[in-house]
Amino acid sequence: MVMETNKILLVEDDPHLAKGLRFNLEREGYEIFLVDNGVSALDQLREKDFDLIILDLMLPKMGGLEVARTIRETNIRFPILMLTAKSSKKDREIGLEAGADDYLTKPFHLPELLLRVKGILRRSEWYKEPVHDQDIFRFAKMWINFGTGKAKGVEGEFYLTTKEALVMKLLVGKKGDVVSREELLEKVWGYDPQTETRTVDNFISRLRKYFEKRPQEPVHILTVREKGYQFVSGSDN
């Protein structure tokens, strides 16, 4: 049982699956609000404060991908767990790129869903912890607003995705200490068995394109061989 009551918006149009999920999530101590289409989901999000949305991909009126993208337009950090019958690697990538924090393929085992929910909520709480004395972290004439996800890189202002912001927050928060790939996987991806260490490397490469003048010769986001990654702010912090 959880100590605090987390509010979860469950968006599922299969009544039998929705009933089962609601029963089991409530048994774990969560407060569940259930809707069966994407439009109603966005209405609920505007009216109430939730800690997580469990979002089916195939929905009437508005699909899960569009709902996720709409959420991300205004809230970079809100946790999204996407459920789908589509199991291909490409579908998974599309879901994650739309803004999902995690992606679970039907049919799934209930214990796995519950672990994913707990993991996402735990990472969400960790993300809220202050990483710096101010909301905006500045370095080398660039900055990151961890409250909004907005950043200024070498080519101007843009928005980080949820996981990009999580990776940067973890690196920055270590204040020069090395962060291992394993720690990044645990904190950012929750040790998803489908996530490879190469995924971490891909995210690092993407972040270097944002914040390094010469991504092939980084001075801020450094690789420490056989150990992990290290963030160095530079003299303009």
Range with the lowest mean pLDDT among 49-58, 84-93, 112-121?
Answer: 84-93
Torsion of CA 86, 90, 93, 95, to 10 degrees: -30
Q: Please work out, in degrees rounded to the nearest 5, the angle formed at the alpha carbon of residue 163 by the alpha carbons of 216 and 109.
A: 130
DSSP symbol at 85: S
Cα 122 to chain center, whole Å?
Answer: 11
> What span, in angstroms and rounded, lies between the C-alpha atoms of 166 and 186?
11
What is residue 237's predicted lDDT score, i.e. its pLDDT? 40
User: Of 100, 128, 156, which marks where a domain is finished?
Assistant: 128
Residue type present at position 213: K
Domain hosting residue 74, numbered range = 7-128
What is residue 193's predicted lDDT score, i.e. its pLDDT? 47
Q: Over the stretch 187-235, which tens digit does the pLDDT of each residue have?
A: 777 655 455 667 788 889 889 999 999 999 999 999 999 899 999 987 5
* Main-chain phi, psi angles of 234, to 5 degrees: 95, 180
> What span, in angstroms and rounded, lies between the C-alpha atoms of 195 and 181?
11
Strand partners, 139: 142
Asked if pLDDT for residue 178 goes beyond 70, the answer is yes
Number of domains in the chain: 2
Residue 74 belongs to a domain with what CATH number? 3.40.50.2300
Residue 201 belongs to a domain with what CATH number? 1.10.10.10
Query: What is the chain's mean pLDDT, rounded?
Result: 82
Q: Over the stretch 144-155, which tens digit does the pLDDT of each residue have?
A: 988 777 899 999
Q: Kindly state whether residue 2 falls inside one of the protein's structural domains.
A: no
Residues 67 and 28 both lie in one domain: yes
What is residue 211's predicted lDDT score, i.e. its pLDDT? 96
Question: Do the Cβ atoms of 131 and 172 come closer than 8 Å?
Answer: yes
Averaged pLDDT for residues 41-60: 90
Q: Please work out, in degrees rounded to the nearest 5, the angle formed at the alpha carbon of residue 96 by the alpha carbons of 188 and 52.
A: 65
Tokens of 199: 């995924």
**Contact residues for 75 (Cβ-Cβ < 8 A; gap 6+):** none
User: Of 107, 128, 149, which marks where a domain is finished?
Assistant: 128
Q: Kindly state whether residue 118 falls inside one of the protein's structural domains.
A: yes
User: Of 128, 152, 187, which marks where a domain is finished?
Assistant: 128
Strand partners, 224: 228
Q: Please work out, in degrees rounded to the nearest 5, the angle formed at the alpha carbon of residue 115 by the alpha carbons of 114 and 117.
A: 65
Residues 113 and 197 both lie in one domain: no
Asked if pLDDT for residue 90 goes beyond 70, the answer is no
> What span, in angstroms and rounded, lies between the C-alpha atoms of 69 and 160?
13
